[in-house]
């Protein structure tokens, strides 16, 4: 984990070790296993596919946090951190859609009164930015997920959908705006500032 996030809890930001393990798994050869549904009675099986399927299942089982620091809050941050590491290494192909849905938390109404949203949902977005800012910035430049209409109330229907540079700038503006919210925790403020620093580094020539 980089020095820029060393002051944040490691559980919040995930660990690159898991990505290294999965990357190693990708190099393993596929195994022919019996499958009566296949024409020749066999199919190619890979540990990578099994692990990613398990990851998808775990993601679907993770519920919205009910209070700050509860197990669902921690699971969300851990999974987002893990997927961010996978995205950086090109391991998990649907990462852009998952990341976009996390970033939508920065597009909620200006009057944020829900502490779980402020201190759980928005930090999930900062986890992506801190760990994968260059990857996200590239996605914005390449207009990834342009056909996806996921958005918060502050991102209007007539604005570009998916990843885009205007949306990147909007997210940065929102981080500046919300980091001083009176209901934000100290960790929340630190995550916001670290994410802003990561975005600034991407924009430097």
Domain ranges of the chain: 3-14+66-203
DSSP state of 45: E
Helix/strand/coil percent split, the chain, to 5: 60, 5, 35
Task: Out of 37-51, 74-88, 136-150, pick the least confident.
Answer: 37-51
Residues 109-134: pLDDT tens digits? 766 667 767 777 888 899 999 999 99
The mean predicted confidence, pLDDT, of the chain is 76
The pLDDT confidence band at residue 137, using thresholds 50, 70 and 90, is very high
Bigger pLDDT: 184 vs 10: 184
Report the C-alpha gap between 153 and 175 in whole angstroms.
16
Above 90 in pLDDT, residue 135?
yes
């Amino acid at each position: 984990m980089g020095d820029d996030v060393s002051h944040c809890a490691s559980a919040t930001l995930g660990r690159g070790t898991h990505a290294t393990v999965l990357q190693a798994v990708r190099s393993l050869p596929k195994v022919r296993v019996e499958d009566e549904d296949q024409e020749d009675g066999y199919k190619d099986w890979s540990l990578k596919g099994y692990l990613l399927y398990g990851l998808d299942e775990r993601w679907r089982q993770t519920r919205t946090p009910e209070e700050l620091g509860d197990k669902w809050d921690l699971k969300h941050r851990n999974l987002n951190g893990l997927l961010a590491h996978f995205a950086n290494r090109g391991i998990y192909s649907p990462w852009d859609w998952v990341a976009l849905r996390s970033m939508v938390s920065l597009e909620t109404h200006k009057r944020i009164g829900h502490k779980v949203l402020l201190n759980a949902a928005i930090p999930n977005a900062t986890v992506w930015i801190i760990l994968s800012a260059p990857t996200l910035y590239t996605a914005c430049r390449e207009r990834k997920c342009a056909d996806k209409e996921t958005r918060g109330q502050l991102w209007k229907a007539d604005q570009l959908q998916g990843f885009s540079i205007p949306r990147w700038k909007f997210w940065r503006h929102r981080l500046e705006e919300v980091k001083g919210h009176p209901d934000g925790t100290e960790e929340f403020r630190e995550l916001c500032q670290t994410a802003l620093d990561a975005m600034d580094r991407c924009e430097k020539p």
